[in-house]
Amino acid sequence: MQLYNLTLKYKELLEVAQNEDNLEVVLDTLESLEDAIEDKVENIARVLNQMKSDTNILDAEIKRLQAKKKTLTNNYNYLREYLLYELVESGIDKVKTPLFNITIRNNPEKVVIEDEESISNEYKVIEYKTDKKALKEALKQGKDIKGAKLVQEKGLLIK
């Protein structure tokens, strides 16, 4: 993680941008910066690079935590299934301890689909989804499609 040498006011902008959910506060902080446009652009680009770096770090941490969550969830489910199996095999429906009351119960019935293809269409739902790729091609060819239009937006490239 590269932390640029930011002046105090740009460090404040970075702090606000990292922690403030209210865009008006971010905009107020930006508008308070009274540097020459070139200096302002360069320093904001530094802030953007730092924010991108922070985002990458957070993405890695999210992946690590998701993997940990998956491990905990899998082990939790395994232990529950193990406990259920052992109680059923032992013919025990209830166990009372000083801390817990454990009971085996019948869950509500659920549908298990064994062969999707053999299910009648009467029990299927059709979902419509807009094909944006086909829509874009049609609009490029000059077709007038109600509810859609082509828009050319501008982007920012920082090298």
Contacts for 53 with CB less than 8 Å, ≥ 6 apart: 1, 2
Q: For 57-114, what is each residue's pLDDT tens digit?
A: 999 999 999 999 999 999 999 999 999 999 999 999 999 999 999 999 999 999 999 9
Q: For 30-72, what is each residue's pLDDT tens digit?
A: 777 777 778 778 888 888 888 899 999 999 999 999 999 999 9
- One-letter amino acid of 136: K
- pLDDT band for position 16 (50/70/90)? confident
DSSP 107-121: PPP----S-GGGS-G
In 10 A of CB 46, how many CB atoms?
Answer: 20
The C-alpha atoms of residue 106 and residue 38 are separated, in whole angstroms, by 70
> What is the model's pLDDT at position 72?
97
> What is the model's pLDDT at position 5?
62
- pLDDT band for position 1 (50/70/90)? very low
Q: For 127-153, what is each residue's pLDDT tens digit?
A: 999 999 999 999 999 999 999 999 998
> What is the model's pLDDT at position 46?
84
Please tell me the chain's helix, strand, coil percentages from 3-state DSSP, rounded to the nearest 5: 55, 5, 40
> What is the model's pLDDT at position 4?
56
> What is the model's pLDDT at position 73?
97
Is pLDDT at 116 greater than 90 in this prediction? yes
